């Protein structure tokens, strides 16, 4: 006597198979959709890098890097802008790094919940403030009273932009330092401040330096604050913070607007140098991050 297979389990199996097929199609659709969105995010960066490289690498020359621009006429190089950017960003880094790191340490290690929330919110708001607004603010307090555009005001404006980036990065890095390290140090009778200075900060030093590098990369490309403060100059200024000083973004802005092809080519060459600097810093940051993950 033969037994017949019930029809209901077969229907359930067929229904389950159709549902699995439908879920697979939906899954593949959203995978491809996410891939397309990721490619759309990469395309602008790739286009900028390729376009600036093609336009700028042909304009590079020893004269562009070593010679100052001519006071009158066409020609010269961008030595004043390169030296100016190094000085402005260097001084801004010296001002921003202690303030940003100490602020991040306070918020994570010493600040209460309410004070930490207020300082964190202020840093987030300052990060989102347009750089041109920062430039106008520094212009009001450091340029107008002295009736003179000056490099020191430009460095201060860059430092204001760098501080919240360094602070937030420091705070997030210190959050991932294991609490057992703090407990072990405190158990030995070490004061809290000494524990933070000798154990917590050195443990997160690599991540803190990563945040500093990212802040430096951002400051290096800022133009709007310098238009209101350092202003720019065709003369090489080394160490005189009371006078205007040129910078690479200002050089690009000035030469790109000129009706002369030679000056336009110089702007493309300096743009390529600036892009190369920023990309190098970001690549170094990624390598440090990968190294810590591998460790």
**More confident of the two residues 288 and 137:** 137
Q: Is the dihedral of CA 237, 238, 240, 244 positive or negative?
A: positive
SS3 293: helix
Per the listing, tokens 């920023």 go with 278
pLDDT band for 284, please (50, 70, 90 cuts). confident
pLDDT tens, position by position, 152-206: 999 999 999 999 999 999 999 999 999 999 999 999 999 999 999 999 999 999 8
May I ask the CATH class of domain 82-247? mainly alpha
**SS percent in the chain: helix, strand, coil, step 5:** 80, 0, 20
Q: What mean pLDDT do residues 268-277 have?
A: 94
pLDDT band for 34, please (50, 70, 90 cuts). very high
Nearest to 225 by CA among 159, 290, 166, 289: 159
CB neighbourhood size of 266 (10 A): 30
pLDDT tens, position by position, 97-139: 999 999 999 999 998 888 989 999 999 999 999 999 999 999 9
pTM of the model: 0.86
Got the DSSP string for 170-198? Answer: HHHHHHTS-HHHHHHHHHTT--HHHHIII
Tell me how far apart the alpha carbons of residues 107 and 25 are, in angstroms, rounded to a whole number: 48
The mean predicted confidence, pLDDT, of the chain is 89
| 193 beta partners | none
Residue 4 pLDDT more than 70? no
Domain ranges of the chain: 82-247
| 36 beta partners | none
Q: How many residues are present in the chain?
A: 295
Asked if residues 52 and 271 have their Cβ atoms less than 8 Å apart, the reply is yes
């Amino acid at each position: 006597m033969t037994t017949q297979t019930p029809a209901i389990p077969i229907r359930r199996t067929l229904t389950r198979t159709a549902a699995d097929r439908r879920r697979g199609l939906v899954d593949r659709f959203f995978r491809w959709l996410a891939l397309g969105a990721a490619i759309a995010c990469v395309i602008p960066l790739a286009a900028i890098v390729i376009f600036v490289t093609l336009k700028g690498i042909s304009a590079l020359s020893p004269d562009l890097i070593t010679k100052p621009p001519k006071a009158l006429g066409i020609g010269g190089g961008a030595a004043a802008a390169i030296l100016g950017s190094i000085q402005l960003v260097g001084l801004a880094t010296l001002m921003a790094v202690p303030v940003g790191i100490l602020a991040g340490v306070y918020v994570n290690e010493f600040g209460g919940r309410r004070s930490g929330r207020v300082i964190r919110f202020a840093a987030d708001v300052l990060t989102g403030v347009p750089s041109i607004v920062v430039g106008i603010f520094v212009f009001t307090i450091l340029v107008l009273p002295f009736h003179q555009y000056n490099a020191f005001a430009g460095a201060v404006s860059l430092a204001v932009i760098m501080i919240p980036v360094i602070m937030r990065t420091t705070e997030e890095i210190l959050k991932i330092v294991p609490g057992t390290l703090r407990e072990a140090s405190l158990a030995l009778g070490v004061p809290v401040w000494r524990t933070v200075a000798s154990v917590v900060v050195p443990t997160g030093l690599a991540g803190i330096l990563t945040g500093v590098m990212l802040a430096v990369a951002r400051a290096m490309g800022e133009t709007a604050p310098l238009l209101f403060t350092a202003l720019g100059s065709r003369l090489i200024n080394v160490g005189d913070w009371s006078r205007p000083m040129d910078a690479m973004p200002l050089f690009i802005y000035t030469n790109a607007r000129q009706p002369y092809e030679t000056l336009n080519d110089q702007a493309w060459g300096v743009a390529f140098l600036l892009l190369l600097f920023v990309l190098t810093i970001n690549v170094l940051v990624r390598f440090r991050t990968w190294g810590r993950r591998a460790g």
